[in-house]
Amino acid sequence: MKSLMIFFLMLFLISPVFAMSGVSPGSYEVHFEPGLEQDFSFEFFFDEGVSSSIYIEGDLAEYVDLNKNIIYGSEEIIATLALPDEIKTPGSNLIRIGARQDSVGGGVGLVADVRGIIRIEVPYPGKYVELKVDAKNANVEEDVNLFLEAYNRGDEEVNLFSQIQIFRDDNEGVLLDRIEFLEVRLLSGEKVNFTSLLDTTKYLSGDYVVTALGDYGGENLARDDDPFRLGEFYVGILNYTSSFEGGKIERFSIFVESFWNNDIEELYAEVNILGLEDAGFITPAVKLNAWEKGRLEGFLDTSEISGEDFQAEIILHYGGGETKEIVNLKISKKFDYKIPLIILFLILCLVLCRRYNIFERLKKLMNKIK
């Protein structure tokens, strides 16, 4: 009873840990311009009446001013950015606008600390383009959605010619397909998006890689890779329980994997022991998500199985599809601990008898009795 009271007391004390907190929007992105001035609004959310201190972090924090340094409950703050004429660190420069609770109502707990981000994208000197490609999984004979984003991160305008290449995900490197896009002109800090559909009617199921290449007149081609999979309506058997103890009801596990890009709503296994009628079981049905691995479980009565080795047929059933496999199983002999324990006991008795001359003492005792 005392322990229960302590538990509820601690639960009450730490309850402020679960207080509401957040910020909206989470981030802004700005392309660097010399002398740029801009205001950014962040709405911080906290429990009513709780005070929070506003702070600034980051390499460019010195270029931000706040309209307030403390808030009570949920409030909006304005961060005013005034950039210099030059920033010497190209790439993404992050400024964090944070709010940290000053108190949590006297309880014992963590203090909420949330942050919004202003991301300053400073261009690289010269020509520099980044690509980001994304290929969505699909099933065989379905179109694959391809997305390509090109971002001019340099401080010069460029003419970009880009393409997407398709390869099987193996070590052979054989080009299967190529999709080319029209040449575009990109200003510094500008982004452009391309989309396309890949016809997979001539493809087999399996793993593939899409490679995006961009020629923009730089020293190297811009490049990005992304793997994708083409599914087939098939569930494979990865592994299964193969050894059982005889004369018992034993758990039988079957490990499976879906190679389909959609959910399989109902999957179950039928297990039949070869050579024995009505020996086997059917597992409960489970749902398997796209490309997911899972486990089916049932119970096998081994009391009617004679011998050590036997075979079973595992049949997976799923939405009109079937996977069959004949597997080799084994009945393990139950180890009898009595015999080695008896032998160990006898050896111990013999050692003790010799250690304390028990046999000699018994012999002398018998002689005295005579």
3-class secondary structure, 278: coil
* pTM of the model as a whole: 0.73
pLDDT over threshold 60, residue 149: yes
Which residue, among 207, 27, 45, 221, has the nearest Cα to 130 in the 3D structure? 221
- pLDDT at residue 16, as a whole number: 45
Strand 113-122 and strand 27-31: the pairing is parallel
Q: Which residues pair with 158 in a beta bridge?
A: 186
Q: What is the pLDDT of residues 56-76, one digit of tens each?
A: 999 899 999 999 999 999 999
- Please provide residue 22's backbone torsions phi and psi, each rounded to the nearest 5 degrees: 175, 175
- Please provide residue 181's backbone torsions phi and psi, each rounded to the nearest 5 degrees: -115, 155
- Burial class of residue 288 in the structure, from the number of CB atoms within 10 Å of its CB (0-12 exposed, 13-18 middle, 19+ buried): buried
Which DSSP category does 154 fall into?
A: B
* Six token digits for residue 246: 């005889």
* Six token digits for residue 85: 């004429």
Which residue, among 140, 267, 134, 126, has the nearest Cα to 206 in the 3D structure? 140
pLDDT over threshold 60, residue 335: no
Q: Check if the beta carbon of residue 258 is closer than 8 Å to that of residue 235.
A: yes
- Burial class of residue 290 in the structure, from the number of CB atoms within 10 Å of its CB (0-12 exposed, 13-18 middle, 19+ buried): middle
Q: What is the pLDDT of residues 346-364, one digit of tens each?
A: 777 776 666 666 666 666 6
Domain architecture of the chain: domains with CATH: 16-122 (2.60.40.10), 129-231 (2.60.40.10), 235-332 (2.60.40.10), 338-369 (no CATH)
Query: How far apart are the C-alpha atoms of 333 and 96, rounded to whole Å?
Result: 66
Cis peptide before 340 (omega within 30 of 0): no
Min mean pLDDT across 99-103, 221-225, 311-315 is at 99-103
pLDDT over threshold 50, residue 22: yes
| HSE-up of residue 367 (Cα within 13 Å, Cβ side) | 6
pLDDT over threshold 70, residue 2: no
Which residue, among 325, 329, 316, 238, has the nearest Cα to 283 in the 3D structure? 316
pLDDT over threshold 70, residue 137: yes
* Six token digits for residue 92: 């993404």
Q: Which residues pair with 278 in a beta bridge?
A: none
Q: Check if the beta carbon of residue 315 is closer than 8 Å to that of residue 322.
A: yes
